[in-house]
């Protein structure tokens, strides 16, 4: 009788586990369990790289992972703990305060005394103030914790020097559309954790479109795929379901792109616009200009930067560029958006297409140095 009750309890527990797994988002279910399953980050994690060899050997160190959302920072921290046979604990600097930090550190200290290591993952670590960041220092020095901080902001500006001196900063890159498409295909084929048992059909072009819409964020790509799978329609033959063009348009209609008006993404994108103009690539320049407008950038700010480019990068090679930039700025002031945006777009194309010379800029700088 007791055996039957025990068997029934085990069966109920297994069913509950299955139900809980089914409730987890696809992006969480498909989180890589090995380094080989991770997509992107070839520079950091390719076979033979220093970081990969140290992880696979279990010789991990405290570090800060700097990269955009969805590039694998949390996943890499989880794998660090797995390969090092260490306990994994995570806190968010958005939600946790100093009392919670001290509690986690005390627990890690007890484990350390018992001969077990702890990987303490601190998400959005740049949100902690100096006092909160300082709380980790003695524990990192003693080896009580293997500290892994994750940030989307430049650590040199957002983290204090004492913490940075005790951690290695690893820069993680946005994941390419090709790599995201590979992750989506794996999710479609995986019958245990993914969508493999649902009989879903999707064309390669549609899959690439979802990957492109993910904008370098694997998690976003998997979320879009999951939504599309829920809206998939029955095929004409009645054998399985298909993510068709209409379904794809519904899913991608209201997507948003990464942009932070005051953060790292903002400066990356204005830098990309500037470099596109300098390299005489009008298509790329127009793309980044449109991308910043779409993200909510103030067109007046863009008009000011375009005027600077006309003076600094085009200069005396084409004096008309400065006149056009000022006139476009004036046109925007008169028309506003969206009509005035076109005047600025024309200047973007002109600046990227015309001749370049920074001779006046260099000469003026030299003259100022002589005066000083």
pLDDT for 180 equals 93
Q: Are 30 and 190 spatial neighbours (Cβ–Cβ below 8 Å)?
A: yes
CA distances from 153 to 26, 262, 273, 277, 350 (A): 27, 10, 20, 25, 33
Q: What is the mean pLDDT of each run of 10 residues along the chain (372 residues)?
A: 53 53 83 91 91 89 89 93 92 86 91 92 90 91 93 85 92 90 93 86 89 88 91 75 85 64 70 90 92 85 93 93 94 88 95 93 88 80
Q: Rounded CA gap, 18 and 16, in Å? A: 5
Q: Rounded CA gap, 2 and 348, in Å? A: 78
Q: How open is the CA angle 285-67-79, to the nearest 5 degrees?
A: 145
| pLDDT tens digits, one per residue of 43-60 | 999 999 999 999 998 888
Structural domains of the chain sorted by starting position, each given as residue range(s) with its CATH number in brackets? 41-171 (3.40.50.300), 177-252 (1.10.8.60), 264-361 (1.20.272.10)
Q: What are phi and psi of 48, to 5 degrees?
A: 95, -10
* Cis bond before residue 338 (omega within 30° of 0): yes
pLDDT for 76 equals 94
Residues in the chain: 372
Q: How would you class 286 by CB atoms within 10 Å of its CB: exposed for 0-12, middle for 13-18, buried for 19 or more?
A: middle
């Amino acid at each position: 009788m007791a055996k039957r009750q025990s068997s029934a309890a085990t069966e109920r527990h297994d069913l509950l586990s299955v139900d809980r797994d089914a409730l987890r988002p696809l992006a969480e279910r498909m989180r890589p369990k090995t380094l080989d399953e991770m997509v992107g980050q070839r520079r950091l994690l390719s076979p033979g790289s220093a970081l990969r060899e140290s992880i696979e050997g279990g010789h991990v160190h405290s570090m800060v992972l700097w990269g955009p959302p969805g590039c694998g920072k949390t996943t890499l921290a989880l794998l660090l703990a797995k390969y090092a046979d260490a306990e994994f604990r995570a806190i968010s600097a958005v939600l946790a305060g100093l009392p919670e930090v001290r509690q986690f550190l005390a627990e890690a200290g007890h484990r350390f005394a018992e001969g077990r290591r702890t990987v303490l993952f601190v998400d959005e670590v740049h949100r902690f103030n100096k006092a909160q960041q300082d709380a980790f220092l003695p524990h990192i020095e003693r080896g009580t914790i293997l500290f892994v901080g994750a940030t989307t902001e430049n650590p040199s500006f957002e983290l204090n020097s004492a913490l940075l001196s005790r951690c290695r900063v690893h820069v993680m890159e946005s994941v390419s559309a090709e790599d995201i498409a590979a992750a989506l295909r794996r999710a479609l084929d995986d019958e245990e954790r993914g969508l493999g048992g649902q009989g879903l059909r999707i064309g390669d072009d549609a899959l690439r479109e979802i990957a492109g819409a993910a904008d370098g964020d694997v998690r976003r790509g998997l979320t879009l795929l999951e939504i599309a799978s829920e809206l998939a329609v029955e095929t004409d033959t009645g054998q399985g379901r298909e993510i068709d063009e209409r379904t794809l348009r519904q899913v991608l209609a209201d997507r948003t792109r990464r942009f932070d008006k005051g953060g790292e993404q903002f400066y990356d994108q204005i830098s990309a616009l500037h470099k596109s103009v300098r390299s005489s690539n009008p298509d790329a320049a127009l793309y980044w200009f449109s991308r910043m407008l779409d993200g909510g950038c103030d067109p007046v700010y863009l008009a000011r930067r375009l005027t600077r480019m006309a003076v600094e990068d085009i200069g005396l090679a084409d004096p008309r560029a400065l006149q056009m930039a000022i006139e476009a700025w004036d046109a925007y002031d008169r028309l506003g958006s969206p009509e005035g945006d076109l005047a600025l777009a024309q200047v973007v194309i002109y600046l990227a297409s015309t001749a370049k010379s920074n001779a006046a800029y260099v000469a003026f700088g030299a003259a100022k140095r002589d005066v000083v």
